[in-house]
Amino acid sequence: MIVSKQYKIKLFFIISLSVFSLQMFGQQNTYSVKVNFSGRFYCEYNSFYWNLSSGANSIGSNSGINDINEKTYPNVPNFNSFSFYLNANTSVEPCLSAQEECIRNTTITNSAVDLIKYPYLQLGGCDFMVGISEFKPNVSIQNLDTTSPSEVCSGFQLSLAAFPAGFPAEAYHWQYSLDNTANWIDVPNYIGGNKTNDITTTTFSIQDILGANHINYINKQIYFRLGYDQTRDFTAPLAITYSSCSPTVINIDYTAPRCNGESIPKIVVSFDRPLETNEILTYIYIKNKNNNSISNQYTDVVFDSANPKNYTFQNISSLENTNTYEIVYQAKKGTILRGSMISTQNFTYNDPAKMQFKITNQTQPSCYGGNDGTIDIEVLSGIAPYQFYIDDVLKVPIKIDNQHYVINGLLAKSEGYKVKVTDKNDCIEK
């Protein structure tokens, strides 16, 4: 009878590395690599080894594996490929025939790029396993704005840099989080045609990555790091406070024009605070969201004295019908420019329909001196209810339907009648 026994075994493991050309900025480019290995074996091996090396240069090794272990090598040079050579063989029954998968003389290879993105390189079988469980470039990040390294104003560009350069581009994979938890989001690869991810220095505004929701994060911290997925961080999070640095628009009170073709009487823009002492808006204007055109721009603006949180545009013209508009502005205090802002509120300009009508029929009085003449009117456009005037005298018509009306009780008149129709806003056909 063959009795199964448990043995402590030696493991041989080689990672071969070929040199990757690197560019250094004040420090050597290295990786932190964690190797996990485990073995609780029921086969007796003639040889079982592992060793972490670069060519003939040994980086680390281990022997006498029992249960689960791990080793971290914090300064592995910046090579471009990594290989496992695993040598494990036995000539002892039952493993020789019944457990042939326990016999290993195998090499697997992966690139540094793949390990940066997906840290997985593993060999094993039966009751043993060896592999890379963590692979990180030793990098750090900082805000290039050294005058205000922990803050960025709305509308301003945030420039983040990673050090040192010289790793594969994938090592510079930028992510952000709005709450510094597991919810990490990749910075877009391109913003406005410019490369913004997998590069050593990335530049964008908070509005670029958050869109209209950026206003919800004013005076809150946004976190940035290099890493992949949710749990693979290459750097500690860098907290940046997102500040408006300007008053923030909280409401737009749009007064629509009464009649077709008229200018907009006013637009009142309400802010969350008054301007501070020695603070102005260097510019404020109305921007067409449909085509980005600008109208009604003013410079060196202060708020209404009677309402110190408001600015009022008056008699606005030249807007495009059915287009949507927003408010764009920037503040300045003294000589220092502050946040450049775009309102999250907007309004849509709808030019009222023209008041138009036509005379479709008329009948003469049935006899001389009679007053049963009629005029038939069709309203082509406008806003109901309508009023009808004959020679500037208000008349109550007979309503046929929403478009057709009859004025009756008219005398014969050689020079004819002057007919006028007005709509709800007292607009007339011009």
**pLDDT tens-digit map of 207-242:** 899 987 888 898 999 999 999 999 899 999 999 999
* Cβ atoms 367, 341 nearer than 8 A: no
pLDDT attached to residue 142: 97
Can you tell me the distance from the alpha carbon of 232 to that of 70, in angstroms, rounded to the nearest whole number?
18
Q: Using an 8 Å Cβ cutoff, are 355 and 426 in contact?
A: no
**C-alpha to C-alpha distance for 195 and 168, rounded to whole angstroms:** 15
Answer whether residue 4 shows pLDDT above 50.
Answer: no
Residues 91-107: tens digit of each pLDDT = 555 555 545 556 567 77
Domain residues of the chain, as ranges? 12-137, 140-243, 249-348, 356-422
pLDDT in tens, 371-400: 999 999 999 998 899 999 999 999 999 999
Is CATH 3.90.380 the right assignment for the domain spanning 249-348?
no
Structure tokens belonging to residue 79: 């090579």
One fold for both 140-243 and 249-348? yes
Burial of 430 (C-beta count, 10 Å sphere; 0-12/13-18/19+): exposed
Hey, what are 197's tokens? 């991810």
pLDDT exceeds 90 at position 318? no
Q: How far apart are CA 130 and CA 133, in angstroms?
A: 9
pLDDT above 50 for 26: no
104 near 89, Cβ under 8 Å? Answer: yes
Going by pLDDT thresholds of 50, 70 and 90, the confidence category of residue 68 is low
Predicted local confidence at residue 317, as pLDDT: 79
Fold annotation for 140-243: Immunoglobulin-like (2.60.40)
CA pseudo-torsion sign 247, 252, 253, 254 = positive
pTM of the model: 0.63
- pLDDT band of residue 53 (cuts 50, 70, 90) is low
- Give the model's pLDDT for residue 24: 33
Q: Which residues pair with 251 in a beta bridge?
A: 270
SS3 231: coil
Contact 251, 345 (CB under 8 A): yes
